[in-house]
Amino acid sequence: MSERETATARSGAGALPDYAPVPRSALGPALNDQGYAVGRVERNLYWVTDGTYQAAFLTTPDGVVLFDAPPTIGHNLQRAIDEVAAANGVSNEVTHLVYSHHHADHAGASSLFDRDVVRIGHEETRRRLLRDDDPARPAPTETFTDRRTLEIGGERIELAWHGANHSPDNIIIHLPDHDTLMLVDIVNPGWAPVYLSNLTEDIPGYVQAPANALSYPWKHFIGGHLGRLGSRDDVRLHQQYMADIDASVRTTLPTIDPTPYFKKYGENVWAAVKGLLDATAAAAAAPVIDKYTGVLAAADVFTPSTTFWVMESIRLDLGYGSYVHP
C-alpha cells in the first residue's frame, strides 16, 4: 500500500458517505472576509453568525446588550458590534450579557468582555457555571427563577424559563418591541436537529418547547445555530418533523422481533440490545428521512440519531412498550 493509500485508509476519507444536497432555502447570508455576517433583525436589534453559530445584540443609549457569546464567533462579536455602532453613531460598549443557557458552545466567549459587564441568566445557569468553574464563562451575577423583565436603555427584554428542555436551564428571550424570540438549541431553521435532538437532556421538554415559543407574539426567530434567521413556519415544520418521528417510533417498536439478536449474540447481552435498538431506530427513521430529505437540510444525516433518542424517551420517560414479566 502506498503512503497516500495508507493515509487515506487511516483517515477513512476513502469511505466517506454521500448525503443529499442542502436546500438553498436552508442557507444564510455570505460571510465577510473575517468570517462573520451581521444584519438587522428589526430596528436596533441585530444578529451575527459564522454560518454555524448565532448570537444577537441590542444597541441602546446605555450601551449594548449581548445575547450569548459563542466562542466560534469569538472576537468577531465585538467586530460586528463595532461595525453596527460606527454605521449608526451609537455606543459599542457591551454593558449586559444575557446567557440563553450554560453550555460552553454558546457562552464560551463571555470572558472576552469586561468583568464589569452585567451577566444575566437563569438561577440554574449560575449554579452550573459556578460548578464548572470555567474562566471563559463567568457566572451570571443577576438571576431569575421563572420570569424576569429587563428594562435597559428604554428597551424591554422578557426572559422566561418554562422548564428543562435542551438543558435544564435553557430559557426563552423575547423582545416584544422587536417582534423577535430567541430560543437556542431547539429549532435549527431550515435544518434537522444535530445528534440526539441537538444533544438534548430532556426530550419531553424539548418537544414542548416549540409550542411554548409559539405562544408568544413574534415574527423573527433566533435559534442559535446555522446561517439564517427563522420564522413561525420554521418552528411549525420542526414540530411536525418531531411528531412524525414520534409516530413512526410508536408504530415501529412493536414490530421488531428481538429474538434473532439474542440468539445471535448469546451471552453478549449488550451486543443483542445494541442490535435490536439500532435496527428499531433505523426502521423508524426511514420514512421520516424519505419525507424530509430536500425539506430540512441534513435530514438524512441526523434523523437516525434523533429517532434513537426520541425512541429511548418514549420507552423510558413515557413507558411506551414497557412490559412486565408474567
pLDDT above 80 for 4: no
84 and 203 assigned to the same domain: yes
Average pLDDT, the chain: 95
| The pLDDT of residue 324 | 83
Contacts of 14 (CB under 8 A, 6+ apart): 8
Distance CA 125, CA 212 (A): 20
Question: Is residue 321 situated within a structural domain?
Answer: no
Measured CA to CA in angstroms, residue 312 lies from 249, 283, 322 at distances of 10, 14, 11
3-state secondary structure the chain: CCHHHHHHHHHCHHHCCCCCCCCHHHCCCCCCCCCCEEEEEECCEEEEECCCEEEEEEEECCEEEEECCCCCCCCHHHHHHHHHHHHHCCCCCEEEEECCCCCHHHHCCHHHCCCCCEEEEEHHHHHHHHHHCCCCCCCCCEEECCEEEEEECCEEEEEECCCCCCCCCCCEEEEHHHCEEECCCCCCCCECCCHHHHHCCCHHHHHHHHHHHHCCCCCEEECCECCCCECHHHHHHHHHHHHHHHHHHHHHHHHCCCHHHHHHHCCCHHHHHHHHHHHHHHHHHHHHHHHHCCCCECHHHHHHHHHHHHHHHHHHCCCCCCCCCC
Question: Is residue 311 situated within a structural domain?
Answer: yes
Rg of the chain, C-alpha, whole Å = 22
Look at residues 206, 230, 254 and tell me which one is the last residue of a structural domain: 230
pLDDT above 90 for 7: no
Angle formed at CA 31 by CA 157 and CA 106, multiple of 5 degrees:
40
Question: Is residue 235 situated within a structural domain?
Answer: no
Question: Is residue 324 situated within a structural domain?
Answer: no
User: Reading across the β-sheet that carries 142-144, which strands appear in turn?
Assistant: 37-42, 45-49, 54-60, 63-67, 94-98, 118-122, 142-144
78 and 153 assigned to the same domain: yes
Is the model more confident about 9 or about 214? 214
Look at residues 195, 230, 265 and tell me which one is the last residue of a structural domain: 230
pLDDT above 70 for 1: no
| The pLDDT of residue 325 | 82
225 and 115 assigned to the same domain: yes
pLDDT above 60 for 65: yes
| The pLDDT of residue 8 | 54
Please give the single-letter amino acid code of residue 162: H
pLDDT above 70 for 97: yes
Segment 55-67 mean pLDDT: 97
Give pLDDT tens digits for 289-319. 999 999 999 999 999 999 999 999 999 999 9
Question: Is residue 55 situated within a structural domain?
Answer: yes
253 and 121 assigned to the same domain: no
150 and 212 assigned to the same domain: yes
What's the domain range around 273? 245-316
Segment 175-198 mean pLDDT: 97
212 and 87 assigned to the same domain: yes
Q: What is the number of residues in the chain?
A: 326
CA torsion, ordered 85, 89, 95, 97, to nearest 10 deg: -30
188 and 226 assigned to the same domain: yes
The domain tally of the chain equals 2
Band (pLDDT 50/70/90 cuts) for residue 200 is very high
100 and 153 assigned to the same domain: yes
Hey, what's the cell of 111? 470572558
Segment 37-48 mean pLDDT: 98
Q: Which of 11-15, 243-247, 304-308 has the lowest mean pLDDT?
A: 11-15
Q: Which residue in 162, 128, 125 sits closest to 142, CA to CA? A: 125
Q: Which residue in 188, 224, 205 sits closest to 105, CA to CA? A: 224
| The pLDDT of residue 6 | 53
Give pLDDT tens digits for 128-151. 999 999 999 999 999 999 999 999
pLDDT above 70 for 10: no
Distance CA 43, CA 172 (A): 20
Look at residues 207, 230, 253 and tell me which one is the last residue of a structural domain: 230
Give pLDDT tens digits for 263-278. 999 999 999 999 999 9
Segment 207-218 mean pLDDT: 98
203 and 282 assigned to the same domain: no
Please state the pTM of the whole predicted model. 0.93
Segment 169-183 mean pLDDT: 98
181 and 263 assigned to the same domain: no
**Given the C-alpha cell 405562544, which residue does it identify?**
215
Band (pLDDT 50/70/90 cuts) for residue 66 is very high
Question: Is residue 69 situated within a structural domain?
Answer: yes
224 and 271 assigned to the same domain: no
Band (pLDDT 50/70/90 cuts) for residue 154 is very high
CA torsion, ordered 288, 293, 295, 298, to nearest 10 deg: 100
| The pLDDT of residue 178 | 98
| The pLDDT of residue 94 | 98
Segment 73-96 mean pLDDT: 97
Distance CA 38, CA 78 (A): 11
Q: The domain spanning residue 207 has which CATH number? A: 3.60.15.10
| The pLDDT of residue 26 | 97
Question: Is residue 138 situated within a structural domain?
Answer: yes
52 and 166 assigned to the same domain: yes
Question: Is residue 261 situated within a structural domain?
Answer: yes
